[in-house]
Amino acid sequence: GILGLNPHNGENGYIGIEEKKIIIPAIKKLKKKYPIIGPLSPDTSFLQRAKLKIDVLIGHYHDQILTTFKSQFDLDAINITIGLPFIRISPDHGVGTGIIGKGIADPKSFKKAVRFFSKYNV
């Protein structure tokens, strides 16, 4: 599922035009080759994900996805960034500089990132 950029998917251009001008035409083009849906309203995307059994959500910027994602999956997740000159796979907790040397880090998300990286040879 691909999220819209603006609240309520731009309210048909009232809040923003990116959905009408860019996102919806791109989704229509992608639907010819891939089983995707969207644009999903960002504020309810995780509810829609569960109800529609969506495997992957694609957002347009970091906090659009990760705020809800982290609240649902805690440290048992990874995130993948595309659109860079390389594929970025990251534990979902960030670097954790505030806990360095304290012996309290939870390695679960890091291990999951390494397993994903190894499995898909990225």
Task: Please tell me whether residues 40 and 86 are part of one structural domain.
Answer: no
Task: Please tell me whether residues 115 and 103 are part of one structural domain.
Answer: yes
| Residue range 69-102, pLDDT digits in tens | 888 887 788 888 888 898 888 887 777 888 889 9
Report CA torsion sign: 91, 63, 5, 37.
Answer: positive
Q: Could you tell me the two tokens for 44?
A: 């309810």
Q: Which of 55, 73, 91 finishes a domain?
A: 73
Banded pLDDT at 122 (limits 50, 70, 90):
low
Q: What is the mean pLDDT of the chain?
A: 88
* Whether residue 58 has pLDDT greater than 80: yes
* Amino acid letter, 64: Q
Task: Please tell me whether residues 89 and 107 are part of one structural domain.
Answer: yes
Least confident of 21-30, 47-56, 71-80: 71-80
Task: Please tell me whether residues 30 and 63 are part of one structural domain.
Answer: yes
